Structure 1
């Protein structure tokens, strides 16, 4: 009898362990590797699809800028325990079975290479627009559209591939920043049906695979809090992206010759006029004529006024993340079942055309990270390496980490 009881205890313990989502803590987005599968001149995907690691590392800088050794081991050494691996779903949506199988095989090898370095993987299908037929528009036609049904069928094949790798190593995030506006009760409920249906599809493949669900409205906190987690099970996490306020995190001009930078954090206690004066000085240093300066400042003015009218500060930022925490609690979910899948701030460029000053950028990022961690929310910074301003690795020269950013993330600079 005691033996039976002991065996039942072991069985129950195993079931509890299985009923927990993949353990995630501090992560980083890998977007430039598998999210831009090379295309031919006629906008069809090259075969085999996706870039090699070497092609990725050398796409924006000489390969010699990178230190020797396994790049994924280096990521692990920085203190990250997982990567959010964004993947172009296009090669998986093409009509040819052999091409899809080839794509799945390439992706399986890629994920296994990352996990071999001791990193967990959040596998995120992350549509891009380079081949319009397979961009995010494919799922915008409503819950019953052919595009959605095709996408959901594809997601099931991806889930099966990930299960083969191991549910103790990977989680599956089938969508990135879906639209489906407006994000309120006046919406169509299409996104609710799509997300619930996709979870059911994946569960028909595996009950153990961790699924990361997302709300609509660009994957924002507003989209999350409009979501009804009626499809919930113990292996589902709930994503939101933290780019609020967008005017601060994404400071860049609408045209390549313009200026939009230097909004301070926090806005409260600072001055719109001071921002304008600094922009004016940069424009003059760049050789702008008086007329061009006036026109350029006029383009920036509305965004500057919006930012200072909203008057963001640290308390408002914490309260915004608190909306996601409150949503989880309302639905009897621990905040640790949330997932802050992206956050970041564009850093100031050398010419001052775009970005935030380092002091403001680092203050914001540290506060967002600390607020997430105070609530037990795993996070992923956007992103590991790119030349566009939101990057852990310095954008030019030797491929070394931004040491001040690493400190803001609570990680030890290498």
Structure 2
């Protein structure tokens, strides 16, 4: 590991909310009076977009073609391809919220409220989009929007994961996704 990282975080501890560690889960916590604790959360909203096709995510494995940001024409196409009655709740929620950067901010708000109420450090320890059934353009836009919101809110973050279905590098190796690097605010590794 990096000596900087090891030294910087040697005496800190992450503390996540209950359940899946979502932003709203933090609101169910009472902070511990300890300056070495960093309160962390995961961000995968909306799950109907970020986890479509994920075989470990139950019924979400069947979802396909959910766009980001919301686009009524593309969403109508998605509804035609997701007719299973068990998927209707996810489709209705997505359509009701019309996911965009502003809706993502609304979903992040509980974590920011927790931080501001208790004056504690906040860290987004995971966020990402499974790439099996998303377009690269939609995926990159979601990452860019979330990373922008986290930076604007002064929240440190880490994506889930470096290599694999959510990653910057394909699971079986290959080149880094340069557009993805840019989307999350990192510099390109390609020399011009």
SS of alignment partner, residue 105 of structure 2 = helix
1:272 to partner: Cα distance:
3.4
Separation of aligned partners in 1, 2:41 and 2:85: 30
- Larger Rg, first or second structure (1 or 2): 1
Q: In the alignment, is the contact (CA less than 8 A) between 1:272 and 1:305 conserved in 2?
A: no
TM-score (norm 2): 0.84
Distance 1:305 1:392, change over 3 A: same
* Unmatched tracts of structure 1, length 5 or more: 1-113, 122-167, 172-208, 280-295, 350-354
CA deviations 1:238-285 (Å, max 9, x no partner) are 001001111111011668xx75222011226455321145x4xxxxxx
Counterpart of 1:362 in structure 2 is 140
- The correspondence of residues 54-69 of structure 1 with structure 2, limited to 5 A, is none
Distance 1:322 1:305, change over 3 A: closer
TM-score (norm 1): 0.41
1:169 to partner: Cα distance:
4.4
Distance 1:240 1:412, change over 3 A: same
Distance 1:234 1:265, change over 3 A: same
- The correspondence of residues 9-408 of structure 1 with structure 2, limited to 5 A, is 114-115=1-2, 118=3, 120=5, 168-171=7-10, 209-229=11-31, 231-252=32-53, 259-267=62-70, 269-277=72-80, 279=81, 297-298=83-84, 301-302=87-88, 303-333=90-120, 337-347=121-131, 349=132, 355-386=133-164, 389-398=165-174, 400-408=175-183
* Unmatched tracts of structure 2, length 5 or more: none
SS of alignment partner, residue 342 of structure 1 = strand
Separation of aligned partners in 2, 1:324 and 1:253: 26
Relative contact order (alpha carbons < 8 A, sep ≥ 6): 1 or 2 greater? 2
CA deviations 1:303-340 (Å, max 9, x no partner) are 3333213322221111221221122111133xxx1000
Distance 1:304 1:394, change over 3 A: same
